[in-house]
Structure 1
Amino acid sequence: MSGLTRWEPFRRQLNPWRELEDMEQRLSALWGRTPTKAEGQKESISVAEWSPLVDITEDDKEYLIKAELPEIKKEDVKLTVQDNVLAISGERKYEKEEKDKKYHRVERAYGSFLRSFTLPEDADGSKVAAEYKDGILKVHLPKSEKAKPKSIDVKVS
């Protein structure tokens, strides 16, 4: 049981930040990621895979997915529908590091991303439409005609 550490809350050298850093390193190792330290920095910087934040709304006619994709070019975003799954994928490319600039902190995530959503039963995946403006991707997913409520007149005799 060499992996266990005794917790001594009243120890004089207790450093909660060190404890958190140890936990981060253990979790990173568990998930196959390695936290990195910026050169000359005491603080570790870990950048996990990232995925854009989305809002999903619904009205009578459609579902609307809004995805935040700041500083991503339209050409770097791909939208697919396959086997009843809508997938948004792409890449945010890392900015060129400038020689005369000294970076103190880099918190924004870069690299590839993938978000996928199982389509609701009443959605028509063959009529998906998308628009991209100001870093927001809007995906319009219309509801199928068979799913729309229909009013039926009942005659009283």
Structure 2
Amino acid sequence: MNNLTRWNPLNEIEDLMNRYNRIFGLTHPGEREGKDLFSRSDWAPAVDIKETGDAFLIEAELPGLSKDDVKVTVDDGVLAIQGERKQETESSDHKVHRIERFYGRFMRRFTLPDNVDENSVKATFKDGLLTLTLKKAEPKEPKAIEVQVE
């Protein structure tokens, strides 16, 4: 049986940056958050983005989290979803053989289109699925300005 592993050179760069961040202590939650050139999340939740006639919908998979573990913000046309999934503490009554789920901090950012009303963002959280509804704004009528030429 042949076992092939695909090599992705970007993974090597990511690994190098993670090591750099750990060496200099740049991966702790809240510490110099948003100011580090090399900072990145520990993992990123999967999202679906859909559009209806009057709104955009963003659905983020966040299994194992509660609504209190998630923060949604809109700032200057950028929507951010962030939070943290904490790993279970070690216990002496069981052995861990494999960990495949992602733990730690996460953040996803989305630049909002011009036709979104930033003040209309609604969020619901049910069964590990965060659903954001972003209502579309009314299109602005173009305004003609007459310029006097001298």
**Match for 2:52: what amino acid?**
D
Number of residues of Structure 1 aligned to a counterpart in Structure 2: 115
Provide, for residues 104-155 of structure 1, a one-character-per-residue CA deviation record: whole Å limited to 9, x for no partner: 11111111100010001111111100000000000000001227xxxxxxxx
1:64 and 2:57 are equivalent in the alignment = yes
Q: Which TM-score applies when normalising by structure 2?
A: 0.68
Task: Provide the residue aligned with 1:119 in structure 2.
Answer: 112
Task: Provide the residue aligned with 1:134 in structure 2.
Answer: 127
Q: Distance in 1 between matches of 2:12 and 2:122?
A: 43
The root-mean-square deviation of aligned C-alpha atoms, in Å, is: 2.5
Structure 1 unmatched ranges of 5 or more: 1-15, 35-47, 148-157
Change (3 A) 1:113 1:29: closer
Q: Distance in 1 between matches of 2:122 and 2:102?
A: 27
Residue from 26, 32, 47 that aligns with 1:54: 47
Residue range with higher mean Cα deviation, 69-78 or 130-139: 69-78
SS in 1 for 2:19: coil
1:98 and 2:84 are equivalent in the alignment = no
Change (3 A) 1:104 1:139: same
Q: Which TM-score applies when normalising by structure 1?
A: 0.65
Change (3 A) 1:61 1:25: closer
**Aligned-residue identity in percent:** 48
User: Over alpha carbons, which structure has the higher Rg?
Assistant: 1
Q: Distance in 2 between matches of 1:102 and 1:133?
A: 31
Change (3 A) 1:26 1:119: closer
Divergent runs of 4+, >3 A:
23-29
Task: Provide the residue aligned with 1:84 in structure 2.
Answer: 77
Residue 25 of structure 1, CA deviation: 9.5
